Amino acid sequence: MKKIINDPGQVVTEMIDGFAYMHNDLVSRLDGFDVIVRKAEKSGQVGLVSGGGSGHEPSHAGFVGQGMLSAAVCGAVFTSPTPDQIFEAIKEADEGAGVFLIIKNYSGDIMNFEMAQDMAEMEGIKVMSVVVDDDIAVEDSLYTQGRRGVAGTILVHKILGDAARNGKSLEEIKALADELVKNIHTVGLALSGATVPEVGKPGFTLADDEIEFGIGIHGEPGYRREKMQPSKTLAKELVEKLTESFAAQPDDKFGVLINGMGATPLMEQYIFANDVKESFSQKGIEVVYKKIGNYMTSIDMAGISLTLIKLKDNDWLKALNSPVETPAW
């Protein structure tokens, strides 16, 4: 294993310290906790908290700031943050209007965020939440009941962050979130596995000429392994699965997020984007919003994911386009 680290057991602590140092104009580390909070003055809006295991950078700390998250909790690598850490984030995010939790659909995350919610409510903080389950590749995978929460979570951060900034109530944000998650679908593929620093070797291996469709962001199994194929073929398969999942019609409007898994160069992401464009064009699908880059990674996994959001409400598009001040958006 070759990595630019010191002690494998200290990667999260040292990463958070480095993150807070580099972005100290926008965020800070909550003293004594693995929590990143925004520095913006509190204005009485609903606080937004997300988080999960580390290894998905820039998620979730990279989306803390004005217009998006109030705080993000960083668990150990590929491990849910503990309830006490989440509780501290909730307290820090509270501006008097309640706190909304954005949780990815993994058993440990759900359990620990719910425990933290109970702790916060005992302190008089009103808390609501949504579980993001955008990965349509497989059902009931490792760590989940139902579908996994993956890159589509970032779009939830963005749209709910805009709603909070515009003064929406906790109840209004809950209603928006419940509708939103039903209209975000993701599917991805891997060319190689991810290496957890304390393990020292990839969580799974693929042959040099092999790929896996539907892989999860922690290395969970996908739905099919095949020989490596041209980008056009990969794009066609992912677009096909996503448009089928929506039963997409020509008058539907979609947003697209192309997400690198950590070790995929932007050159390859843009080639894939060009092929995605062609696949949509052949289907007569209108794409009115586009985003590309590394947003929900899996340490050093080589791979890519494609997220579609069905823009049922024009306000969702406005929210996606609204300016924010965060380290990573």
CA atoms within 13 A on the CB side of 192: 13
Q: Please give the sequence-ordered ranges of beta strands (E in DSSP) within 63-122, or none if there are none.
A: 71-77, 99-104
Tell me how far CA of residue 84 lies from CA of 94, 107, 115, 158, 254, in angstroms: 15, 17, 9, 26, 38
Question: Two tokens at 110?
Answer: 């759900």
Alpha-helical (H) ranges within 23-96 are 83-93
Residue 323 burial (10 A CB sphere; 0-12, 13-18, 19+): exposed
User: Measured between alpha carbons, how far is residue 182 from residues 4, 33, 175, 245, 271 in Å?
Assistant: 39, 33, 12, 11, 29
- Quick one: tokens of 108? 């440990």
Tokens describing residue 229? 């194929």
Residue bearing tokens 């929900």: 296
Active site residues: 56, 218
Contact 82, 112 (CB under 8 A): yes
Select from 292, 307, 144, 302 the least CA-distant residue to 241. Answer: 307
**115 membership: H or E segment, kind and range:** helix 107-122
Q: Report yes or no: 159 and 278 within 8 Å, Cβ to Cβ.
A: no
